[in-house]
Amino acid sequence: MPTGSASRTAVVMCQSRAAADGRSAVGRFADPVAAHLLSDDERVPVDQVRAGQRPQGWATRVAFESVRATMQMIVPRTVAIDDAVRDQAAPQVVVLGAGLDSRAWRMAELAGVDVFEVDRPPSQADKRARVGGLSAVARSVRFVAVDFAAPGDVGLADALAEAGHQAGMATTWIWEGVIPYLSPTAVAATLDAISVRSAAGSRLIASYQATSVRTRIGWVTSRSWGEPWRSLWRPEQLEGLLHRYGLDVVTDESLLTVAEQIGTSVQNRRSLRDSRVVVAGRPGRRQPVPSDPQQDLP
Ligand SMILES: C[S@@+](CC[C@H](N)C(=O)[O-])C[C@H]1O[C@@H](n2cnc3c(N)ncnc32)[C@H](O)[C@@H]1O
């Protein structure tokens, strides 16, 4: 994405959640807040998808198809991550690359929780303008502006400390839809900060794209979206990296498995199979990080 611009993919994710609310996996998926984070223009394809009305012009049709296709991925991804958050209610949640994530505004389970939303400065400024006067459900929401790829003077660990994050207390980390946009080096650097600030009992919930022929094609096409993919992972490769940072994998499942469990429409099986959500936990004392944590990165 252009350095000074807010993320456009974050808007498409939000549009897809808004389109799916009350339409897909009812009882398992809900995001009534998403529509409130969108502009009137951005709500047009959402309303068309909800009404099942295909528009005529090609530009409006592209927006419609993009929201409709993304819905199939976003519903199982949201359900998998929401379930993992409910499963382990840490007193603080850090949402990395938050985009237009609405959990702090919609999840009753976060009522006693302090939420820290981290994002690149332009995406975060855009989010704050969109949130406006919406009341959060979470006990508090603090915004922390950091670029994982170019953290500048204050890196993620220090920025969180400045914002009041408590390294001595367990944290649930949500890293949804961000890893593909980071180089392996930026992924490792972010895991290092997560590791430094993860007390025993902390959990990381992250989505990633598995390496496959299809995702390698996605890698090329993502160039034209303006937010290029920079890393794909084999599950065992990411598991090894997490382990190096003292995080042991608890579950790692494909969105195809989740979609089949919750009974949502599956039109692109291969795409869902390559989209994965991993949950990893900090079991006990922090393990020492190797002197060269980036060795063996892809
Ligand atoms: C596809 S959006 C996902 C947003 C949200 N997590 C969701 O799932 O709806 C990608 C997000 O990652 C953020 N992001 C991408 N590169 C980043 C970086 N280098 N540092 C911090 N955030 C980044 C973008 O600003 C954007 O909010």
- Please write the tens of the pLDDT for every residue from 189-222: 999 999 999 999 999 999 999 999 888 888 888 8
In a domain, 229, yes or no: yes
Is the pLDDT at 293 greater than 50? The verdict is no
Coil vs helix vs strand at 120: coil
The number of residues in the chain equals 298
Q: 265 pLDDT band (50/70/90 cuts)?
A: confident
E strand residue ranges, the chain: 92-96, 114-119, 140-145, 171-175, 203-209, 248-254, 275-281
Which mutation among 71, 154, 178 tests ligand 1's pocket best, with the greatest number of atoms within 8 A of CB?
178
Q: Would you say residue 31 lies in a domain?
A: no
148 ligand 1 Cβ < 6 A: yes
Q: Which of 65-74, 152-161, 169-178 has the lowest mean pLDDT?
A: 152-161
For residues 219 and 238, what is the distance between their CA atoms, to the nearest angstrom? Answer: 18
The answer to whether position 30 is within a domain reads no
Percent of the chain with pLDDT over 70: 93
Residue 69: inside a domain? no
- Cα of 100 from ligand 1 centre, angstroms: 9
Ligand 1 touching residue 21 (CB < 6 A): no
- Long-range Cβ contacts of 231-239 (<8 Å, 24+ apart): 231/179, 231/180, 231/182, 231/183, 231/184, 231/187, 231/298, 232/180, 232/208, 232/298, 233/179, 233/208, 233/209, 233/298, 234/210, 235/210, 235/276, 235/278, 237/298, 238/208, 238/278, 239/278, 239/280
- Please write the tens of the pLDDT for every residue from 63-112: 999 999 999 999 999 999 999 999 987 999 999 999 999 999 999 999 99
Q: For residue range 122-132, list pLDDT tens digits in order.
A: 999 999 999 99
* Domain CATH code at residue 153: 3.40.50.150
Ligand 1 binding pocket includes 119 (Cβ within 6 Å): yes
Counting the structural domains of the chain, the total is: 1
Judge whether 138 and 213 are in contact, CB under 8 Å: no
Task: Note down the domain range covering 147.
Answer: 74-281
Name the average pLDDT for the chain: 93
Distance from the Cα of residue 80 to its chain's centroid: 11
pLDDT at 225: 78
Domain contains 213: yes
